[in-house]
Amino acid sequence: MPGANLTRVEAGERKAVVSAPVHYWVSLDVTVGARNFGSATRVTFDATPGATTFLDLIADEVSEIVLNGEPLDPAAAYADDRIELTGLREHNEVVVKALCRYSNTGEGLHRSVDPSDGNVYLYSQFEVPDARRVYAVFDQPDIKAVFDFSVLAAESWTVLSNQPVHAVSSVDGMTAEGTLGDHPAERVRLWTFEPTVTMSSYLTAICAGPYAEWHTEYANEDGRTVPMGMYCRQALKDAMAKDVDYLFDVTKAGFAFYAKTWGIPYPYAKYDQIYVPEYNAGAMENIGLVTIRDQYVFESKVTDAMAERRVVTVLHELAHMWFGDYVTMKWWNDLWLNESFAEFTSTLATAEATEWRDAWATFNSGEKSWGLNQDQLPTTHPIVAPINDLNDTYVNFDGITYAKGASVLKQLVAYVGRDRFFEGINHYLNNHAYSNATLADLLAELEETSGRDLKAWSAKWLEQAGANTIAATVEEGADGTIASLTLTQTAPAEHPVLRPHRLAIGFYDEDGHGRIVRTDRIELDVDGETTVVEQAAGRPRPAFILVNDDDLTYAKLRFDDASLEFAAENLYRFDDALARSVVWLSLWDMTRDAEFPAERFIDLSLKALATEHESTTFRYALGQVSTTAHHYVAPARRADVARHVAAELWKLANAAEAGSDEQFQLVGAYLTYGEEGDAEFAANVRGLLDGTVSMPGLQIDNNMRWSLIKALATVNLVDEAGIDEELARRDTTENREFALGARASRATAEAKDWAWNEAIRNESLTNMQLEAVARGCTAAKAELAEPYADRYFEEIDWIWTNRTFHMAEALLNGLYPVNADPARLVELGDAWLAGHEDADNALRRIILENVDASHRMLKVRDYNAAL
């Protein structure tokens, strides 16, 4: 892949040479064409006299390099995406002029043309090392600097950066030629911005284009008035207008919550949020200019889970303004200090400062399940992960860094107490403001405020991988009381660490109205292999005993036999959303560990879906049922089970409240169970599309139409001409992605071959289009998927060598032929891994995780076949 892979050793060596103050003046010219933009950088810095170091830059052409007034030959000084700087002085100045390239992959400076109106939109994405795709830079988090940005852009555009605009001036004699999509050339303006605070390069940002915009202000807790902006594409203006006041209100609630919780008001000059197209991530915490994927601008109906996730995302990025931006990790091994903290506190803020009061149930069903899954892979790693180079960093934006880390922080709050925890956070932020810090710095502050020795806690929780299992054993007395309740903690053999836990045990019984409610609660410390819950002795035996009530700790759970049986029969009657989520996740964990029958899990889940109203729990349960039906049941039963699930989903959808979130999710899930030749499925889907089948309250809006079109494509009931006709109705950025996905989903060998080659070889596809094609390709049923087992492993090396990291990762995950025979995938995968022991760690990790999923499928289906 292009781009030098900076190692931690190299970064340390460069940090030892380069010292503050570091100051950049960056001038960009986005008027020169549709492929490239001009980049000019002047950087001043102090250094060890006589030393050698380098600047990072990925450019098509470097025309000028001047070091301390002396011109350098670009052909000699610029190689392997680095500019070598030799013979440094105590005070240095470097000038670099280059021609850089726009991306269509969401890396560096992304350029997107909206087909609905021809408008061009630019936005930057620099995490992890992609500021170097836009300007010459020491691109590592611990060489913080002040940045002065200026941008030449079309007169009609809006240009944004981290700081407020200092001045905008017209430029005589210049026009923006060939940069404006379908629009004619126009005059050019120069935008200059105020200098930034001292910050890391990966947090700098530039956005430009004819964005629609809205503005308000926030009365900051320090007495300042903070300007706030909201931006999106013109094509999404009407949809955004419906939600913009709500999103401003959520952001303001976050300002107030964080300032109160941490004792530090928002520290920057402004706060803009810009919703951008074709975005690789959920959002990015650029100081003062947060970029957010514009799938969060809702033109069509979305699930409540998506609406809540938008709120969590807004609050997650806002939390980063303090944790990650105000104080930044020194190197990427402490990435979790950014992401885990933002994930934990954004959930806390969502639960306590917005209408989404069940956010911790959402967190358990979505984030924690992600973390537990990641933690059981052969590629699991400590929360404080070993990061040797940038490629290691890329693949650690995962369920450990985000979800497990956030869950462990929730445990730490329970362990030390909330007030003392946030007092320590206040000290940490104040003592390291605008600088870099490490885990040791954080623990020192928390130890001081909590009075606990956290070094041993950190060694087990943060520096060791793997998930513990806590199992309950109950002995009953003759009178129906509990004679003893014992908790047994175990650890996987490859990660044999037992951890201290602060947890709660809930007693649950029927309340007389058919609901299962908590009747008693015990909170205690659990440590070591065995803990006897002395407080439980003599109490009446409840119908269900919930270990880890309120989800205070991070662990796999195994209930006592009577409680397990009760939960399997009565999950749908549990009154509390968080309790249901915790129980459901444990039953799912047992299912995928081959400890609970797959078909029983499906049936209890379908029963519970009839009464579940927590949207994210609902969404994840539907996904778990799908995985179980298609991969975990005995092969001989798979077709019958899939038909049974489809019938039950359709029945539940028709019984659901008209227009409800549950109805919407159930229909969406049903559409993924199509089989060629299934006349009932064809009639239902065609009927919803043409209006002959009525489901009161169900909106057949743009996105639902495309879901129906794709469902028909998967069973060959719509051809390419039909897909093209649908796209012609409304040609937009999103609908082009839907159309490509539908075309790739057609159940023919020709369609799959086209999709396979298009995804891998067509570099004109945007990142989102590529992902849509890959998803459609791998939706193939087993007989169509089989040829791609061999092809997948034959293509890995080419993909890794020839595509950028994000695109390689999207291809290697998206094209893994999960519906092919898992035994064949295991055979091929194990052979590839054995033959590529010296492959890049990041590449091996991607392949290991995919192959491990196939190993698990074999294990679980064999267990169910033997029942």
Taken as a whole, the chain contains a residue count of 867
Q: Which amino acid type is present at position 432?
A: H
Contact 94, 136 (CB under 8 A): yes
Structure tokens belonging to residue 615: 């949207």
364 contact partners, CB below 8 Å, separation of at least 6: 551, 578, 581, 582, 585
Residue-wise DSSP of 689-755: HHTSS--TT----HHHHHHHHHHHHHTT-S-HHHHHHHHHHS--HHHHHHHHHHHHHSSSHHHHHHH
Angle subtended by helix axes 638-655 and 661-670, to nearest 10 = 150
Residue-wise DSSP of 774-792: HHHHHT--HHHHTHHHHHH
Residue-wise DSSP of 147-166: EEEEEEEETT-EEEESS-EE
Phi-psi bin for 9: left (phi > 0), alpha (psi -120 to 50), beta? alpha
Give the Å distances, CA to CA, from 823 to 447, 595, 642, 853. Answer: 50, 21, 21, 11
Contact 186, 165 (CB under 8 A): no
Phi-psi bin for 220: left (phi > 0), alpha (psi -120 to 50), beta? beta
DSSP strand pairing (146-154 vs 18-29): parallel
Specify the residue for token string 């039906």.
629
DSSP β-bridge partners for residue 113: 120
Q: How many CB atoms lie within 10 A of CB 616?
A: 27
| Closest among 355, 356, 340 to 413, alpha carbons compared | 340
Q: Which residues are catalytic?
A: 317
Structure tokens belonging to residue 398: 């995962």
Residue-wise DSSP of 186-212: EEEEEEEEPPPPSB-GGG--EEEES-E
H or E segment to which residue 67 belongs: strand 61-67
| Closest among 403, 418, 412 to 454, alpha carbons compared | 412
Structure tokens belonging to residue 199: 């910050």
Give the Å distances, CA to CA, from 503 to 415, 546, 662, 781. Answer: 9, 11, 32, 44
